């Protein structure tokens, strides 16, 4: 009972090393303020990966350790963010997220690209080089 109470009291999403969980407000600040801008305008300093996931999603759980590795290996060159689609339904709707995991690759300039489904690490590394232009 003590564990359940303390978990309920701490409603903040878990922070995984190197990855930040985004809310609507932090997404608008760090990625794109879709309420103020109609045209894509990336607000970040570094290219990023945004993982749209849910805690109950098996494939999402499978790629989470891969994203943790990537966040460490590419530290200082790109950011890795997570958006809980159950908590942030408006964000999921804005990007037309219909299945999870959905991964948004956001370069410093140019349009973001969305990939759907669990991917192996090699596919992430290839997209990081090709889409984000980070080696």
8 contacts: CB under 8 Å, gap ≥ 6 = none
- d(C-alpha 20, C-alpha 49), whole Å: 11
Instruction: Identify whether 3 is a catalytic site residue.
Output: no
User: pTM, whole model, 2 decimals?
Assistant: 0.86
Q: What is the pLDDT of residue 13?
A: 40
Q: What is the pLDDT of residue 16?
A: 53
Q: 16-130 architecture in CATH? A: 3-Layer(aba) Sandwich (3.40)
Q: Which of 31, 60, 103, 131 is catalytic?
A: 60
Instruction: Identify whether 57 is a catalytic site residue.
Output: yes
Q: Which of 22, 50, 57, 106 is catalytic?
A: 57
- The 10 Å Cβ neighbour count of residue 131 is 18
**pLDDT in single tens digits along all 135 residues of the chain:** 333 333 333 333 444 557 999 999 999 999 999 999 989 999 999 999 999 999 999 999 999 999 999 999 999 999 999 999 999 999 999 999 999 999 999 999 999 999 999 999 999 999 999 999 998
Q: Tell how strand 79-84 and strand 19-21 pair up.
A: parallel
Domain locations in the chain?
A: 16-130
């Amino acid at each position: 009972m003590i564990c359940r109470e303390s978990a309920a009291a701490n409603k903040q999403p878990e922070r995984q090393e190197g990855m930040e969980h985004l809310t609507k407000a932090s997404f608008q600040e760090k990625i794109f303020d879709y309420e103020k801008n109609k045209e894509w305008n990336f607000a970040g300093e570094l290219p990023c990966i945004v993982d749209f996931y849910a805690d109950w999603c098996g494939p999402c759980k499978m790629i989470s350790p891969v994203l943790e590795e990537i966040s460490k290996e590419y530290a200082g060159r790109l950011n890795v963010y997570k958006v809980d689609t159950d908590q942030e339904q408006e964000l999921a709707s804005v990007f037309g997220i219909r299945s999870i995991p959905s991964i948004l690759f956001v370069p410093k300039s140019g349009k973001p690209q969305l990939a759907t489904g669990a991917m192996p690490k090699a596919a992430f590394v290839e997209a990081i080089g090709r889409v984000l232009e980070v080696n």
